[in-house]
Amino acid sequence: MENYRIEQDSLGNMQVPKDALYGAQTARAVDNFPISGIPLPQSMLRALGLIKKHAAQANQNLDLLPAEIAEVISQAATEVIEGKFDKQFPVDIFQTGSGTSSNMNANEVIAHRAMRLLGQPLDSKSIHPNDHVNMGQSSNDVFPSTIHIACAEQLHQKLLPALEQLLQQLDNKTDQFKDILKIGRTHLQDATPIKFGQVFSGYARQVEVAHEQVANNANGLFELALGGTAVGTGINTHPDFAAQTIAAIANETDLPFREAKNHFQAQGAKDGLISVSGSLKCCAVSLFKIANDIRFLGSGPRCGIGELVIPAVQPGSSIMPGKINPVMAESLMQVCAQVIGNDATVSLCGLSGNFELNVMMPVMAYNILQSIELLSNGIKAFDEKCLAELQADEKRCTDLLEQSLALVTALVPEIGYDRAADLAKQAHKTGKTLRELALEDGVAAEVLDRLLDPASMTEPKS
């Protein structure tokens, strides 16, 4: 007992660790939810701090909160924003679906820290978690706003810049490989020639589209539910509270946050989060294709495709000396698989917007923020450890191109589809080249020189 103190809430007494800044409601949540051991991510703690800081200042401006109390609440919330009390937020992600436990965790930590700043004991309640720190708010509008702020900041600070860097790298490779001819492939079979630069231009466009989709969907995060309180009606809050609080948050984060157009939608549905998660899934699908293509194109080095030379970043095998594996591509592909799974979880959670409140918000937040973090880090590592030093094996590309029977496609306008198909079958069966068989079939040499030039097959005829 000497390591604990007794705190009270509406359910009665509760033991709280002696030096903890949180109180009875947080302690109850820790006791109730020993599920994963995963607390809220720091980005959400920062967002909670931003809300509490600017809520206190707005309530002071509206003459609802004494200046002395508002100032210490704001100071304590600033310390939360700075990450000074992260260990004081032990509540599990898998908690009450409204995030009430985490909102009260923030209220209690900030209230107790504010009392310490005033030199008062923790049990004095001269600054009350609900009456003062949570003034004008409800968990039902605070927690969705917290998620939106955290996700918007992470997208604009991490993922969107990572995609921009990746796009620049792919544009560089498009230019570097622009004159290298190689065989195309459809259905995993030889197809008509293509330039390696054209291949990478396709990858670059995929990333560009992913960036556009993520950025466009992120705009929905700028609407905040603050001001709706319990069910969207704004009970127990000043009509100007939300606008003042959100404007200050927008100013501090340099992001265009605004009050939700409809508070009932903002609290009963999670459409903005669903859209963002969907765009993250689309991004993951594109990145998986790019990484997997590069992995296959670099297969070998002698008995695979081998058109790309993948940088050696670590030994590939504990038993096969000299083996190098496409580990950076594999890492990114695993990230993409996790993000796609996260989106399924977020979608299922979005179905639980029952009546006036969604009750699956914490796990939605966790999965979206994890997806943003994984994609940001995975892209950066893939860019720096694989793409930056990726090279094309031009000789290998030429050798494979010359062996392909797909060049026969260029003869179709001259000799027709059926004759061209027959030539391809004969070439495969006899080992003769297409040129040899076409000459035997009566096609003039100068016509073959023109039609069988691989470079001419990579652009539309004028």
Catalytic entry in 36, 124, 317, 456: 317
Bridge partners (DSSP) listed for residue 258: 223
Q: Report the relative pairing of strands 308-309 and 258-259 from DSSP bridges.
A: unpaired
Buried b (16+ CB within 10 A) or exposed e, 65-85: beeebbbbbbebbebbbeeeb
Bridge partners (DSSP) listed for residue 328: none
Alpha-helical segments (H) within 386-441 = 394-403, 412-415, 417-430, 434-440
> What ranges make up the beta strands (E) of 213-266?
223-224, 258-259
DSSP letter for each residue of 273-328: HHHHHHHHHHHHHHHHHHHHHHHHHT--SSSS---EE----S---SSSTT----HH
Query: Which amino acid is it at 376?
Result: S
DSSP 130: I
Secondary structure class of 351 (helix, strand, coil): coil
Q: Taking a C-beta distance cutoff of 8 angstroms, is the pair 387, 166 a contact?
A: yes
Residue 428 falls in the annotated catalytic set: no
CA–CA separation, 268 and 272 (whole Å): 12
Residue 187 falls in the annotated catalytic set: yes
Catalytic entry in 54, 124, 126, 187: 187
CA–CA separation, 14 and 117 (whole Å): 24
- Please give the positions annotated as active site: 187, 317
